Amino acid sequence: MAPPVTLKVSNRFPKKPIKKLPTSIEITDTTTVQDVKDNLAKRAGGWDPNRFGLYEPEKKKLLKDRKALISKQESVLGGKEILVKDLGLQLSWTTTFIIEYSGPLIFHLLFPFVLRPYLYKLSLPYLPYTSGSLPPLSTSQLLAAAMIELHFAKREYETLFIHRFSLATMPFFNIFKNSFHYWVLSGAWLAYWIYAPGSYTSLETPLTRNLDIIGLILYLFGEVSNFHTHVTLSKLRSKGGTERGIPKGYGFNWVTCPNYLFEMIAWTGVLLVTRSSATVLFMVVAMGQMQIWAQKKERAYRAEFPKEYRKKRYAIIPGI
């Protein structure tokens, strides 16, 4: 084993210093990024280790892989220095996703089955039947509620038992921004318009019954395929590990992120059942965000596996 090396510890932003941050730290050839965080947290007075962001001194690049060996970071060893930043209060990714997905689960139960008799009498007083009892939920409305509930229940299950995260935590206050998409758009906004009396989802005709059947088939295909791709991705990383791999197999030969492709297929099924512009808005926003993530993932694959990775022309939808 090589002798220990002493690294200078500096604040990433000197104008925002971390109190009690040690000025130096010793590392060995087995010291990981997480080891350094744990050591700094202990010496700084019992901080949460995940609050510390470690950066190499040359390009000031964040060392994301918590299991990476410090001895392999040439810039850190060459300059004998490591930069540290307080990332603020942190929240685990598992907790984050559970909170985010719970919003739609709550709203798509409350709006149609608990609040509906009161909600629309107050907000839609011009409807002829709001002075008395509302008409019952249509087949399409009941089916939409079941589809959306199952979608987000599946996501909660995947969060707890399937997904393996390379990063342990995220900044706490990001939960409010991230939850807006789920609690507002796919939660309250979508639920309000889908279960409203007089909406397109409330219609009962031969055409709507056919659309319900087609939508349900697309939904089931998309959800099962999406689950399959998530299982494939989870197998690329050991439990608690941070290693990355190249996903192959069903869907991955077509586009960079087939999990997003199959998710949009599932939501297309929901759209056929709901026939609501609210669903369209949610899908447009979701698709825009997923496109950004997929393009970022494609760039990451090309950079990390320049020889092994087969480049994809399409991020989410084949041909687009």
pLDDT digits (tens, 9 = 90+) for 183-233: 999 999 999 999 999 899 999 999 999 999 999 999 999 999 999 999 999
Rounded CA-CA distance 266/277 in Å is: 16
Whether residue 144 is found in the same domain as residue 220: yes
Which residues span the domain enclosing 31? 5-88
Q: What's the pLDDT band for 125 if we cut at 50, 70, 90?
A: low
Q: Is residue 36 part of a domain?
A: yes
Q: Is residue 313 part of a domain?
A: no
pLDDT, tens digit (0-9, with 9 covering 90-100), for 249-298: 999 999 999 999 999 999 999 999 999 999 999 999 999 999 999 999 99
Whether residue 230 is found in the same domain as residue 181: yes
Cα distances from 301 to residues 177, 248, 255, in angstroms, run: 27, 12, 12
Whether residue 79 is found in the same domain as residue 105: no
- Are 260 and 227 in contact by the 8 Å Cβ rule? The answer is no
Whether residue 96 is found in the same domain as residue 60: no
Whether residue 61 is found in the same domain as residue 104: no
Whether residue 69 is found in the same domain as residue 180: no
- Are 147 and 212 in contact by the 8 Å Cβ rule? The answer is no
Q: Is residue 315 part of a domain?
A: no
Number of neighbours of residue 311 by Cβ within 10 angstroms:
9
Instruction: Choose one of 44, 72, 88: the last residue of a domain.
Output: 88
Number of neighbours of residue 281 by Cβ within 10 angstroms:
14
Cα distances from 224 to residues 219, 221, 227, in angstroms, run: 9, 5, 5
Is the pTM higher than 0.85? The answer reads yes
Q: What CATH code is carried by the domain that includes residue 29?
A: 3.10.20.90
Whether residue 225 is found in the same domain as residue 143: yes
Whether residue 66 is found in the same domain as residue 131: no
Rounded CA-CA distance 22/234 in Å is: 37
